[in-house]
């Protein structure tokens, strides 16, 4: 998978992560790893170990949207 943000700028970069919100591929420059309280206040979320490592990676547009909604 290629980074969607890079592709929009005409670059061809392999994605290293996937935005948990919109699912777009992201390279390490465009992925934002942060405490994003998407699942707080809810029931336990069961995640497979392999996707648990990337559970808090979001893309820049989604990060902005999440901040605005906090
Ligand atoms: Zn990128
Ligand atoms: Zn996103």
- The confidence score (pLDDT) of residue 46 equals 57
> Cα-Cα-Cα-Cα dihedral of 29, 31, 34, 36, to 10°?
160
Task: Tell me the CA–centroid distance for residue 19 and ligand 2, in Å.
Answer: 5
Q: Which two tokens stand for residue 54?
A: 């990337």
Residue-number span of the structural domain to which 14 is assigned: 4-68
DSSP state of 18: E
Query: In angstroms, rounded to a whole number, what is the distance separating the alpha carbons of residues 45 and 4?
Result: 27
Q: How many domains does the chain have?
A: 1
70 residues of the chain, pLDDT tens digit each: 999 999 999 999 999 999 988 999 999 999 988 655 555 555 565 555 545 554 578 899 988 887 787 6
Task: Tell me the CA–centroid distance for residue 18 and ligand 1, in Å.
Answer: 11
Query: What pTM was computed for the model?
Result: 0.66
Task: Tell me the CA–centroid distance for residue 68 and ligand 1, in Å.
Answer: 23
Task: Tell me the CA–centroid distance for residue 28 and ligand 2, in Å.
Answer: 14
DSSP state of 42: S
Task: Give the ligand at the shortest distance from the Cα of 3.
Answer: 1
- The confidence score (pLDDT) of residue 43 equals 58
State phi, psi for 33 to the nearest 5 degrees.
Answer: -105, 110
Query: In angstroms, rounded to a whole number, what is the distance separating the alpha carbons of residues 64 and 58?
Result: 10
């Amino acid at each position: 998978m290629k980074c969607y943000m890079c592709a929009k700028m005409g670059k061809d970069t392999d994605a290293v992560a996937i935005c948990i919100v919109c699912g777009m591929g992201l390279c390490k420059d465009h992925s934002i790893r942060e405490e994003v309280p998407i699942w707080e206040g809810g029931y336990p979320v069961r995640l497979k170990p392999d996707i648990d490592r990337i559970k808090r990676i979001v893309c820049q547009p989604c990060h902005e949207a999440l901040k605005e909604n906090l």
